Amino acid sequence: MSDRSLLTIDDLTFAYNTTQASALDRVSFEINAGTITTILGPNGAGKTTLLHLLLGLRKPASGSILLEDLPLHEYSRRNLSQWMGLVPQSEHVSFEYTVLEYVLLGRAPYLGPLELPGDGDIVIARDALQKTGIAFLEHRPIPALSGGELQLVLLSRALAQQPRILLLDEPTSHLDLANRNITLRILDQLRKEGTTILFTTHDPEAALIVADTIVLMNKGRVLAAGGFEETFTSEKLTQTYGVPVEVVRTDGIQVVKSMGRLS
Amino acid sequence: MNIRRKQIYTTILLITLPLLVLVIALFVGRYPKPIWMNPALLGSDEIAQRLVLNLRLPRTITAMLLGMSLAAAGGVMQMLFRNPLVEPGFLGVSQGAGFGASLCIVFLTTNPLAIEGVATLFAVLGLAFSYFFARKMRYGGWLLRLVLAGIAVSAFFSAGLGILKYLADPNSQLQQIVFWLLGGLYSITWKSLLYILPVVIVGIIIIYLMRWRLNLLALEDETAFSLGVSVGRERTLLLAASVAVTAVVISVAGIVAWIGLIIPHIARRITGANAANFIPVSISLGAIFGILCDSLARTLMPGEIPLGIITSLLGAAIFIFLMVKPNLKVKA
């Protein structure tokens, strides 16, 4: 793990509407290269908004985002898209693309406005499918895929972008346990290969499994940021979710409990 | 490099096939007798010469451009609006053109060039209104707002058109309005061809060159943005190209329905959803379909059948056929 901060988020504030409360309120934390950071919080905490600001899709009202010590807005759109890939929470696909065609869209940051993907791009797209373990789906039409497979296609598309930073919006929220574990395992592997990963989730367990750094958010604010010791306490999680949450340790594994069985 | 070779052959086929159909169509008609004219007649018969060069040639080329334009624009609109049921005139363009043409017939003149000019003007106005209202609307995402504004503007123009029909002289003007609305290329001359040619060429070249980008523009905005796409700028450029070609061909041909809806569908059935593949096929098929429908329109009966009727009839029939045979898929 390197200590060098790749992304520095400093005092970030953002509101969708001047009359409304801030969606993000003085958010600050750092992301180190080659680590997995998890933004953990309930629905409506401002997680997706934060991702949009990191992408450059929205501009902060105040505060700054530094990518390798340079403000984000000094990067061109194209340059930024070579840096960062996004895996959206879900995607509605209206047309019957094949998986390979869809993953090839991830090559856009490297192609000119009138250019079509070439053989080299196909090699990279196939490599991305290999990494996510769905190379066998290459010729399958997208509408014929299961939810878990579609999620892996979206991840493959982002990998075809060859990003140094991978942003994922709730990557596990639609998945069953088996597919969630597959996704988290792939993220772990990507981290080993040097990719910096940031994902949002409302599932504390997903954070427990892979995160190096956890950022707890609620109502647009960062309640805590750091490793497990600093963030995964019963008190802080209770504060984050607004319901009683207990962190217990069984057989050396931390488990999050928020509710007993209702009779 | 088998794929490269296949691509080259496909491209040659997509270009030569419509041209071949174009040449054949020049000898199809009702002179000297119904259906077929012996090409040898061109050497001896002066009427045949003049008929082919001054009437059939510009008309058939226009039919080709019409089919290409509507099919290309339809394909683009379906991608931009992420909706396979969108057709190119729906943003107030068709109804605007219809209203403009009728306005010209009732209050100004029945000169074809004047009708074309006013129809183009109102087609563009239709789009401008749709765009303007979509900007002002405070509901839904940008695409939904454009669709809603397009529906409202179309309804306004169609109401206005109703008033104009009511006011029109039933013995002359009304007939002309109805005939215009049904679509047809009977009044095409070299002059009207030259009027639409530059816009169609530029528009289709833009659409052809940017065809792969269409896939990116069909993605959710945030995803397209994360892939480095300037969503607003590129979408506006392609929308402008599509509306421009649609507006000019509608202005000379009247409202010709179904081509822009059905041809991209068929093209996608052949090549799959990737716009880099289906747009060229769509343009080529559109050209063939345009020529075919116009040839039928001027050949089937002694009097001319309005083109819009033929395209609707064939288009709807093909559409139903495709819908009830969902597995009809040609492997690319």
Q: Which residues of A touch B226 (CB under 8 A)?
A: 55, 57, 81, 84-86, 167
Q: What are phi and psi of B34, to 5 degrees?
A: -55, 150
Percent of residues, chain A, with pLDDT higher than 70: 98
Give chain A's end-to-end CA distance (angstroms, integer).
Answer: 46
Region B185-197 average pLDDT: 88
Higher pLDDT pick, A254 / B97: B97
Structure tokens at A249: 């340790």
**Arithmetic mean of pLDDT over chain A:** 90
Q: Is B212 on the interface with A (CB under 8 A)?
A: yes
Asked if the model's pLDDT at residue A161 lies above 90, the reply is: yes
Q: Which residues of A touch B209 (CB under 8 A)?
A: 114
**Contact between B227 and A78 using a beta-carbon 8 Å cutoff:** no
Give the C-alpha separation, A241 to A224, whole Å.
13
Torsion angle, alpha carbons of B30, B31, B35, B36, to 10 = -170
Which of A82, A91, A95 is nearest residue B84 as measured by Cβ atoms?
Answer: A95
Q: Is B317 on the interface with A (CB under 8 A)?
A: no
Query: Is residue B120 domain-resident?
Result: yes
DSSP string, B157-169: HHHHHHHHHHHS-
Higher pLDDT pick, B221 / A85: A85
Asked if the model's pLDDT at residue A135 lies above 50, the reply is: yes
Query: Is residue B150 domain-resident?
Result: yes
Chain length of chain B: 332
Mutate to test the interface with A, among B1, B217, B227 (most CBs of A within 10 A): B227
Domains and CATH numbers, chain A: 5-90+163-257 (3.40.50.300)
pLDDT digits (tens, 9 = 90+) for B61-87: 999 999 999 999 999 999 998 888 888
Torsion angle, alpha carbons of B294, B106, B87, B211, to 10 = 80
Q: Is A84 on the interface with B (CB under 8 A)?
A: yes
Residue B197: predicted pLDDT: 94
Q: How confident is the model at residue B146 (pLDDT cuts 50, 70, 90)?
A: confident
Residue B301: predicted pLDDT: 86
Q: Which residues of A touch B229 (CB under 8 A)?
A: 77, 108
CATH number at residue B109: 1.10.3470.10
pLDDT digits (tens, 9 = 90+) for A22-66: 889 999 999 999 999 999 998 888 999 999 999 988 899 999 999
Asked if the model's pLDDT at residue A114 lies above 50, the reply is: yes
Residue B327: predicted pLDDT: 56
Region B31-60 average pLDDT: 84
Give the C-alpha separation, B70 to B286, whole Å.
7
Q: How confident is the model at residue A131 (pLDDT cuts 50, 70, 90)?
A: very high
Q: How confident is the model at residue A173 (pLDDT cuts 50, 70, 90)?
A: confident
How many helices (H) and strands (E) are present in chain B, helices listed first?
15, 2
Q: Is A161 on the interface with B (CB under 8 A)?
A: yes
Query: Is residue B41 domain-resident?
Result: no
Query: Is residue B19 domain-resident?
Result: no
Residue of A nearest to B75 (CA): A95
Nearest CA-CA distance, residue B34 and chain A, Å? 43
Q: Which residues of A touch B222 (CB under 8 A)?
A: 52, 55, 57, 86, 88
Query: Which single residue is written with the structure tokens 């390197």?
Result: A2
Residue B330: predicted pLDDT: 43
pLDDT digits (tens, 9 = 90+) for B280-306: 999 999 999 999 999 999 988 888 899
The range of the structural domain enclosing residue B249 comes to 70-324
Percent of residues, chain B, with pLDDT higher than 70: 98
**Weakest-pLDDT range from A24-28, A195-199, A244-248, B326-330:** B326-330
Which of A81, A96, A114 is nearest residue B273 as measured by Cβ atoms?
Answer: A96
Residue A49: predicted pLDDT: 92
**Contact between A91 and B220 using a beta-carbon 8 Å cutoff:** yes
Query: Is residue B38 domain-resident?
Result: no
Q: How confident is the model at residue B99 (pLDDT cuts 50, 70, 90)?
A: very high
Query: Which single residue is written with the structure tokens 């288009």?
Result: B315
Query: Is residue B21 domain-resident?
Result: no
**Contact between A86 and B215 using a beta-carbon 8 Å cutoff:** no
Cβ distance B66 to B254 under 8 Å? no
Q: Is A108 on the interface with B (CB under 8 A)?
A: yes
**Contact between B219 and A105 using a beta-carbon 8 Å cutoff:** yes
DSSP string, B236-275: HHHHHHHHHHHHHHHHHH----SHHHHHHHHHHHHH-S-H
Window 38-77 of A, Cβ < 8 Å to B: 52, 55-57, 77
Residue B1: predicted pLDDT: 53
Give the C-alpha separation, A147 to A170, whole Å.
14
Mutate to test the interface with B, among A84, A94, A154 (most CBs of B within 10 A): A94
Query: Is residue B47 domain-resident?
Result: no
Q: In the Cβ-directed half-sphere of A21, how many Cα atoms lie within 13 Å?
A: 7
Give me the number of domains chain B comprises.
1
CA neighbor of A211 nearest in space, from A161, A155, A168, A156: A168
Residue B326: predicted pLDDT: 61
pLDDT digits (tens, 9 = 90+) for B111-143: 878 888 899 899 989 988 998 898 888 877 777
Give chain B's end-to-end CA distance (angstroms, integer).
Answer: 16
CA neighbor of B258 nearest in space, from B171, B148, B182, B145: B182
Integer CA distances (angstroms), A154 to A119, A160, A168, in order: 21, 10, 10
Structure tokens at A246: 């207990």
Residue B87: predicted pLDDT: 85
Give the C-alpha separation, B304 to B294, whole Å.
10
Nearest CA-CA distance, residue B9 and chain A, Å? 18
Query: Which single residue is written with the structure tokens 């451009």?
Result: B65
CA neighbor of B164 nearest in space, from B56, B156, B140: B156
Q: What are phi and psi of A118, to 5 degrees?
A: -110, -170
Residue A3: predicted pLDDT: 57
Give the C-alpha separation, B231 to B223, whole Å.
10
Query: Is residue B9 domain-resident?
Result: no
Region A222-247 average pLDDT: 88
Give the C-alpha separation, B177 to B194, whole Å.
24
Cis peptide before A88 (omega within 30 of 0): no
Q: How confident is the model at residue A99 (pLDDT cuts 50, 70, 90)?
A: very high
